[in-house]
């Protein structure tokens, strides 16, 4: 068997073990990404449909994976964590979770970045709403202008949550 095949088989096994515990916990957790390095460092990133991933949930998923893999066969390092706020979205569930939140979308073709409220998500793409103050011809004061943008997932280079500390 080629090393790539073994790695893929292992990735599926790790995700299966993670999902077993995720389903038992029944808290809306989902896997964002599973990566296995060439040095057998296994990284599993989780997110949750509503709120934040609890440390105890990461520990619980980690234990289920660790207790079901045999270190005698192959040594490994396991890291189970929540998906970082600074990282781009990688799965549809992250988009869905963030409907109503401000996001920053970088468009592939133009490399333009559009910042706005995520209004709609489906399997094909997203709808974003921006609100800006602009000068309108013939008016002295700037007026609020609302625009909608639609992007397919193929058009999006990356999407990130906008972190804001103001209320």
Task: Please tell me the distance from the alpha carbon of residue 63 to that of residue 25, in angstroms, as a whole number.
Answer: 13
Tens-place pLDDT, residues 92-111: 999 999 999 999 999 999 99
Question: Helices 55-68 and 3-25, interaxial angle, to 10°?
Answer: 130
Quick one: DSSP state of residue 154? Answer: G
Q: β-strands 125-135, 41-48: how paired?
A: unpaired
Backbone angles phi, psi at 90, to 5 degrees: -125, -15
Tens-place pLDDT, residues 41-53: 999 999 999 999 9
Task: Please tell me the distance from the alpha carbon of residue 164 to that of residue 105, in angstroms, as a whole number.
Answer: 16
Strand partners, 113: 106
The per-residue pLDDT for 2 is 44
Residues above pLDDT 70, as percent of the chain: 94
The most distant pair of C-alpha atoms in the chain lies apart, rounded to whole Å, by 77
Structure confidence at residue 167 as a pLDDT band (50, 70, 90): low
2 contact partners, CB below 8 Å, separation of at least 6 = none
Backbone angles phi, psi at 84, to 5 degrees: -70, 145
The per-residue pLDDT for 72 is 79
Strand partners, 30: 47
Side-chain-side CA neighbours of residue 61 (13 Å): 30
Q: Going edge to edge, which strands form the sheet with 102-107?
A: 142-152, 125-135, 113-121, 102-107, 156-161
C-beta of residue 101 within 8 angstroms of C-beta of residue 116? no
Average model confidence (pLDDT) for the chain?
91
> Which domains does the chain possess?
3-82 (3.30.300.20), 92-161 (2.30.30)
Task: Please tell me the distance from the alpha carbon of residue 135 to that of residue 143, in angstroms, as a whole number.
Answer: 6
């Amino acid at each position: 068997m080629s090393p790539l095949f073994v790695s893929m088989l292992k990735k599926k096994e790790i995700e299966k073990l993670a999902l077993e515990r995720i389903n038992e916990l029944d808290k809306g957790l989902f896997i964002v990404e599973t990566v296995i390095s060439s040095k057998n460092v296994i990284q599993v990133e989780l997110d949750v449909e509503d709120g934040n991933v609890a440390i105890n949930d990461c520990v619980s998923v980690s234990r289920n994976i660790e207790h079901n893999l045999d270190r005698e066969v192959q040594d490994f390092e396991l890291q189970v964590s929540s998906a970082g706020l600074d990282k781009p979205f990688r799965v549809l569930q992250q988009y869905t979770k963030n409907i109503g939140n401000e996001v920053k979308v970088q468009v592939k073709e133009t490399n333009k970045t559009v910042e706005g409220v995520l209004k709609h998500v489906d399997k094909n793409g997203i709808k974003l709403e921006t609100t800006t103050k602009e000068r309108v011809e013939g008016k002295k004061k700037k007026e609020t202008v609302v625009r909608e943008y639609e992007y397919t997932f193929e058009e999006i280079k990356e999407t990130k949550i906008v972190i804001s500390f103001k209320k």
